[in-house]
Structure 1
Amino acid sequence: MPIAFWCVLAAGILPVLTVAIAKWSAHYDNGEPRAWSQTLDGHRRRAYAAHQNGYEAFPFFAAAVFGATLLKAPQATVDALALAFILARIGYTACYIADWPTQRSLVWSAGWLATVAIFTAPAWALLR
Protein backbone atom coordinates (compact mmCIF):
# COMPACT_ATOMS: atom_id res chain seq x y z
CA MET A 1 0.00 0.00 0.00
CA PRO A 2 1.45 3.41 -0.92
CA ILE A 3 2.71 5.70 1.83
CA ALA A 4 0.16 8.29 0.70
CA PHE A 5 -2.69 5.91 1.63
CA TRP A 6 -1.23 5.58 5.12
CA CYS A 7 -1.17 9.38 5.23
CA VAL A 8 -4.90 9.42 4.47
CA LEU A 9 -5.39 7.16 7.48
CA ALA A 10 -3.20 9.46 9.59
CA ALA A 11 -5.14 12.51 8.39
CA GLY A 12 -8.35 10.82 9.51
CA ILE A 13 -6.94 9.99 12.94
CA LEU A 14 -5.27 13.35 13.67
CA PRO A 15 -8.54 15.21 14.42
CA VAL A 16 -9.52 12.53 16.93
CA LEU A 17 -6.18 12.90 18.70
CA THR A 18 -6.50 16.68 18.60
CA VAL A 19 -9.93 16.76 20.21
CA ALA A 20 -8.60 14.53 22.99
CA ILE A 21 -6.57 17.55 24.12
CA ALA A 22 -9.79 19.55 24.41
CA LYS A 23 -11.55 16.76 26.27
CA TRP A 24 -8.74 15.98 28.69
CA SER A 25 -9.85 17.04 32.19
CA ALA A 26 -12.40 19.48 30.79
CA HIS A 27 -15.48 17.79 32.24
CA TYR A 28 -16.50 16.48 28.85
CA ASP A 29 -20.26 16.03 28.55
CA ASN A 30 -20.98 13.16 26.17
CA GLY A 31 -24.69 13.84 26.59
CA GLU A 32 -24.42 17.27 24.97
CA PRO A 33 -21.07 17.45 23.17
CA ARG A 34 -21.99 20.47 21.03
CA ALA A 35 -23.10 22.50 24.04
CA TRP A 36 -19.98 21.37 25.91
CA SER A 37 -17.70 22.69 23.16
CA GLN A 38 -19.12 26.19 23.64
CA THR A 39 -17.92 26.19 27.26
CA LEU A 40 -14.27 25.68 26.37
CA ASP A 41 -11.65 28.40 26.60
CA GLY A 42 -7.93 28.83 26.08
CA HIS A 43 -5.94 25.96 24.62
CA ARG A 44 -8.90 23.58 24.86
CA ARG A 45 -11.06 25.83 22.68
CA ARG A 46 -8.21 26.14 20.18
CA ALA A 47 -7.70 22.35 20.19
CA TYR A 48 -11.39 21.89 19.45
CA ALA A 49 -11.16 24.39 16.58
CA ALA A 50 -8.06 22.64 15.20
CA HIS A 51 -9.98 19.36 15.38
CA GLN A 52 -12.80 20.85 13.31
CA ASN A 53 -10.34 22.21 10.76
CA GLY A 54 -8.76 18.78 10.48
CA TYR A 55 -12.08 17.37 9.33
CA GLU A 56 -12.50 20.28 6.92
CA ALA A 57 -9.11 19.61 5.31
CA PHE A 58 -9.55 15.84 5.13
CA PRO A 59 -11.91 15.40 2.12
CA PHE A 60 -9.81 17.52 -0.26
CA PHE A 61 -6.62 15.73 0.80
CA ALA A 62 -8.13 12.25 0.54
CA ALA A 63 -9.64 13.00 -2.87
CA ALA A 64 -6.31 14.36 -4.07
CA VAL A 65 -4.39 11.26 -2.94
CA PHE A 66 -6.85 8.75 -4.37
CA GLY A 67 -7.30 10.74 -7.57
CA ALA A 68 -3.58 11.15 -8.15
CA THR A 69 -3.00 7.46 -7.51
CA LEU A 70 -5.87 6.42 -9.79
CA LEU A 71 -4.53 8.66 -12.56
CA LYS A 72 -1.02 7.19 -12.19
CA ALA A 73 0.83 10.24 -10.90
CA PRO A 74 4.43 9.45 -9.89
CA GLN A 75 3.90 7.61 -6.61
CA ALA A 76 7.11 8.90 -5.02
CA THR A 77 5.91 12.46 -5.62
CA VAL A 78 2.45 11.76 -4.21
CA ASP A 79 3.98 10.02 -1.19
CA ALA A 80 6.38 12.90 -0.46
CA LEU A 81 3.63 15.49 -0.78
CA ALA A 82 1.28 13.45 1.40
CA LEU A 83 3.95 13.25 4.10
CA ALA A 84 4.44 17.01 3.78
CA PHE A 85 0.69 17.46 4.29
CA ILE A 86 0.74 15.34 7.45
CA LEU A 87 3.72 17.26 8.84
CA ALA A 88 1.93 20.52 8.02
CA ARG A 89 -1.21 19.33 9.82
CA ILE A 90 0.81 18.41 12.90
CA GLY A 91 2.52 21.81 12.79
CA TYR A 92 -0.80 23.55 12.22
CA THR A 93 -2.33 21.85 15.23
CA ALA A 94 0.64 22.71 17.43
CA CYS A 95 0.56 26.35 16.31
CA TYR A 96 -3.20 26.55 16.84
CA ILE A 97 -3.04 25.15 20.36
CA ALA A 98 -0.05 27.37 21.20
CA ASP A 99 -1.98 30.43 19.93
CA TRP A 100 0.51 31.39 17.22
CA PRO A 101 -1.88 32.65 14.53
CA THR A 102 0.68 33.87 11.97
CA GLN A 103 2.69 30.65 12.07
CA ARG A 104 -0.55 28.66 12.01
CA SER A 105 -1.64 30.39 8.81
CA LEU A 106 1.73 29.78 7.16
CA VAL A 107 1.70 26.09 8.05
CA TRP A 108 -1.93 25.76 6.95
CA SER A 109 -0.95 27.28 3.60
CA ALA A 110 1.87 24.74 3.22
CA GLY A 111 -0.57 21.89 3.81
CA TRP A 112 -3.10 23.33 1.39
CA LEU A 113 -0.43 23.81 -1.28
CA ALA A 114 0.74 20.22 -0.77
CA THR A 115 -2.83 19.06 -1.39
CA VAL A 116 -3.13 21.17 -4.53
CA ALA A 117 0.20 19.76 -5.71
CA ILE A 118 -1.03 16.19 -5.13
CA PHE A 119 -4.25 16.95 -6.99
CA THR A 120 -2.34 18.32 -9.98
CA ALA A 121 0.49 15.74 -9.94
CA PRO A 122 -1.02 13.66 -12.77
CA ALA A 123 -0.86 16.73 -15.03
CA TRP A 124 2.81 17.26 -14.20
CA ALA A 125 3.55 13.72 -15.35
CA LEU A 126 2.03 14.56 -18.74
CA LEU A 127 4.37 17.55 -19.09
CA ARG A 128 7.49 15.39 -18.81
Structure 2
Amino acid sequence: MASILDAPLSLYSIPVAWLLAYIPQVIKVTTASKFTTYDNLDPRTNVSKISAKDKVDDRLKAKVARADAAHQNGLESFPVWSIAVLVANYAGLASRSINNTALVYLGSRVVYNYIYINQSKQWHGSSRTLVWNVGVGAALSLLIRSANLVSSRT
Protein backbone atom coordinates (compact mmCIF):
# COMPACT_ATOMS: atom_id res chain seq x y z
CA MET A 1 0.00 0.00 0.00
CA ALA A 2 1.45 3.33 -1.09
CA SER A 3 2.04 6.07 1.43
CA ILE A 4 2.56 9.79 1.00
CA LEU A 5 6.26 9.12 1.66
CA ASP A 6 6.35 7.09 -1.57
CA ALA A 7 5.51 10.22 -3.60
CA PRO A 8 8.43 12.31 -4.92
CA LEU A 9 8.10 15.06 -2.31
CA SER A 10 11.79 15.60 -1.57
CA LEU A 11 12.14 18.38 -4.12
CA TYR A 12 9.88 20.48 -1.89
CA SER A 13 12.51 20.22 0.82
CA ILE A 14 14.71 22.57 -1.22
CA PRO A 15 12.49 25.66 -0.84
CA VAL A 16 11.71 24.66 2.75
CA ALA A 17 15.44 24.47 3.53
CA TRP A 18 15.92 27.91 1.98
CA LEU A 19 13.11 29.32 4.14
CA LEU A 20 14.59 27.71 7.24
CA ALA A 21 17.87 29.48 6.46
CA TYR A 22 16.02 32.80 6.52
CA ILE A 23 14.06 32.37 9.76
CA PRO A 24 17.13 33.38 11.83
CA GLN A 25 17.49 36.43 9.59
CA VAL A 26 13.94 37.48 10.42
CA ILE A 27 14.65 36.96 14.12
CA LYS A 28 17.85 39.00 13.82
CA VAL A 29 16.15 41.90 12.04
CA THR A 30 13.15 41.87 14.37
CA THR A 31 15.32 41.85 17.47
CA ALA A 32 17.80 44.41 16.16
CA SER A 33 15.02 46.77 15.06
CA LYS A 34 13.94 47.14 18.68
CA PHE A 35 17.24 48.87 19.48
CA THR A 36 18.33 50.62 16.32
CA THR A 37 17.05 51.60 12.93
CA TYR A 38 17.67 48.75 10.57
CA ASP A 39 20.06 49.90 7.86
CA ASN A 40 18.99 48.26 4.63
CA LEU A 41 21.56 50.24 2.64
CA ASP A 42 24.36 48.51 4.54
CA PRO A 43 22.66 45.53 6.20
CA ARG A 44 25.81 43.60 7.00
CA THR A 45 26.82 46.27 9.51
CA ASN A 46 23.67 45.95 11.62
CA VAL A 47 25.09 43.31 13.95
CA SER A 48 28.19 45.40 14.68
CA LYS A 49 26.01 48.50 15.25
CA ILE A 50 23.95 46.61 17.83
CA SER A 51 27.15 45.30 19.46
CA ALA A 52 28.47 48.84 19.81
CA LYS A 53 25.39 50.13 21.64
CA ASP A 54 25.97 50.56 25.37
CA LYS A 55 22.29 50.59 26.32
CA VAL A 56 21.53 47.20 24.77
CA ASP A 57 21.65 44.19 27.08
CA ASP A 58 24.62 41.90 26.34
CA ARG A 59 22.29 38.88 26.11
CA LEU A 60 20.30 40.55 23.33
CA LYS A 61 23.48 41.57 21.51
CA ALA A 62 24.59 37.95 21.67
CA LYS A 63 21.20 36.71 20.45
CA VAL A 64 21.36 39.01 17.42
CA ALA A 65 24.87 37.79 16.62
CA ARG A 66 23.84 34.13 17.03
CA ALA A 67 20.78 34.60 14.81
CA ASP A 68 23.06 36.10 12.17
CA ALA A 69 25.43 33.15 12.49
CA ALA A 70 22.55 30.63 12.25
CA HIS A 71 21.36 32.41 9.10
CA GLN A 72 24.83 32.25 7.56
CA ASN A 73 25.14 28.58 8.44
CA GLY A 74 21.80 27.84 6.81
CA LEU A 75 22.96 29.56 3.64
CA GLU A 76 26.22 27.59 3.73
CA SER A 77 24.49 24.22 4.06
CA PHE A 78 21.74 24.98 1.54
CA PRO A 79 23.74 24.27 -1.65
CA VAL A 80 24.95 20.88 -0.40
CA TRP A 81 21.42 19.86 0.55
CA SER A 82 19.93 21.08 -2.72
CA ILE A 83 22.51 19.25 -4.81
CA ALA A 84 22.06 16.08 -2.74
CA VAL A 85 18.29 16.07 -3.32
CA LEU A 86 18.65 16.73 -7.03
CA VAL A 87 21.31 14.03 -7.44
CA ALA A 88 19.29 11.50 -5.43
CA ASN A 89 16.22 12.08 -7.55
CA TYR A 90 18.22 11.95 -10.78
CA ALA A 91 20.00 8.76 -9.70
CA GLY A 92 16.65 7.13 -8.99
CA LEU A 93 16.87 6.50 -5.26
CA ALA A 94 13.53 5.42 -3.82
CA SER A 95 11.30 8.39 -3.06
CA ARG A 96 10.53 7.07 0.42
CA SER A 97 14.24 6.96 1.24
CA ILE A 98 14.89 10.47 -0.07
CA ASN A 99 11.78 11.82 1.69
CA ASN A 100 12.77 10.28 5.02
CA THR A 101 16.25 11.74 4.68
CA ALA A 102 14.69 15.12 3.83
CA LEU A 103 12.65 14.99 7.02
CA VAL A 104 15.81 14.29 9.00
CA TYR A 105 17.63 17.18 7.33
CA LEU A 106 14.78 19.68 7.74
CA GLY A 107 14.21 18.60 11.34
CA SER A 108 17.90 19.07 12.06
CA ARG A 109 17.78 22.61 10.61
CA VAL A 110 14.81 23.55 12.82
CA VAL A 111 16.53 22.19 15.93
CA TYR A 112 19.87 23.72 14.91
CA ASN A 113 18.35 27.19 14.50
CA TYR A 114 16.54 26.94 17.82
CA ILE A 115 19.62 25.83 19.74
CA TYR A 116 21.93 28.33 18.07
CA ILE A 117 19.70 31.34 18.63
CA ASN A 118 18.80 30.45 22.22
CA GLN A 119 21.98 28.80 23.52
CA SER A 120 23.49 30.05 26.74
CA LYS A 121 25.58 27.18 28.07
CA GLN A 122 28.62 25.37 26.74
CA TRP A 123 26.74 22.09 26.33
CA HIS A 124 24.25 23.88 24.06
CA GLY A 125 27.12 24.51 21.65
CA SER A 126 28.02 20.83 21.71
CA SER A 127 24.39 19.89 21.09
CA ARG A 128 24.25 22.33 18.19
CA THR A 129 27.34 20.74 16.65
CA LEU A 130 25.81 17.28 17.02
CA VAL A 131 22.61 18.45 15.30
CA TRP A 132 24.65 20.11 12.54
CA ASN A 133 26.44 16.79 11.96
CA VAL A 134 23.08 15.03 11.62
CA GLY A 135 22.02 17.50 8.90
CA VAL A 136 25.29 17.32 7.01
CA GLY A 137 25.26 13.56 7.40
CA ALA A 138 21.81 13.43 5.83
CA ALA A 139 23.01 15.36 2.79
CA LEU A 140 26.18 13.30 2.47
CA SER A 141 24.25 10.06 2.84
CA LEU A 142 22.06 11.02 -0.13
CA LEU A 143 25.14 11.78 -2.21
CA ILE A 144 26.87 8.54 -1.26
CA ARG A 145 23.77 6.36 -1.75
CA SER A 146 23.22 8.02 -5.13
CA ALA A 147 26.81 7.41 -6.18
CA ASN A 148 26.56 3.78 -5.06
CA LEU A 149 23.35 3.28 -7.04
CA VAL A 150 24.74 4.85 -10.20
CA SER A 151 28.04 2.95 -9.97
CA SER A 152 26.21 -0.35 -9.45
CA ARG A 153 24.56 0.08 -12.85
CA THR A 154 27.87 0.21 -14.71
d(CA) in 2 for partners of 1:101, 1:39: 25
8 Å CA contact retained: 2:27, 2:67: yes
Counterpart of 2:116, as a letter, is: Y
Q: How does 1:45-124 map to 2 (within 5 A)?
A: 45-99=65-119, 100-122=124-146, 123=148
The aligned residue for residue 43 of structure 2 is 33
After the TM superposition, which segments of 4 or more aligned residues of structure 1 sit over 3 Å from their partners? 124-127
Deviation at 1:124, TM superposition (A): 5.3
Could you list the per-position Cα deviations for residues 89-112 of structure 1 after superposition, in whole angstroms to 9, with x for gaps in the alignment? 111111101122011000000001
Q: Name the SS for the 2:49 alignment partner.
A: coil
The aligned residue for residue 43 of structure 1 is 63
Q: Percent identity?
A: 28
Aligned residues: 127
Counterpart of 1:6, as a letter, is: Y
Query: RMSD of the alignment, in Å?
Result: 1.8
Deviation at 1:19, TM superposition (A): 0.5
Could you list the per-position Cα deviations for residues 57-76 of structure 1 after superposition, in whole angstroms to 9, with x for gaps in the alignment? 00000000000100101111
Return the TM-score normalized by structure 2. Answer: 0.76
Could you list the per-position Cα deviations for residues 37-96 of structure 1 after superposition, in whole angstroms to 9, with x for gaps in the alignment? 323421111011000000000000000000010010111111100110000011111110
Mark the CA change 1:37 to 1:97 in structure 2 (over 3 Å): closer, same or farther. same
After the TM superposition, which of the residue ranges 53-62 and 33-42 deviates more from structure 2? Answer: 33-42
The aligned residue for residue 19 of structure 2 is 13
8 Å CA contact retained: 2:109, 2:132: yes
Return the TM-score normalized by structure 1. Answer: 0.91
d(CA) in 2 for partners of 1:108, 1:56: 12
Can you give the 5+ residue segments of structure 1 that lack an aligned partner in the other structure? none
The aligned residue for residue 28 of structure 2 is 22
Counterpart of 1:45, as a letter, is: A
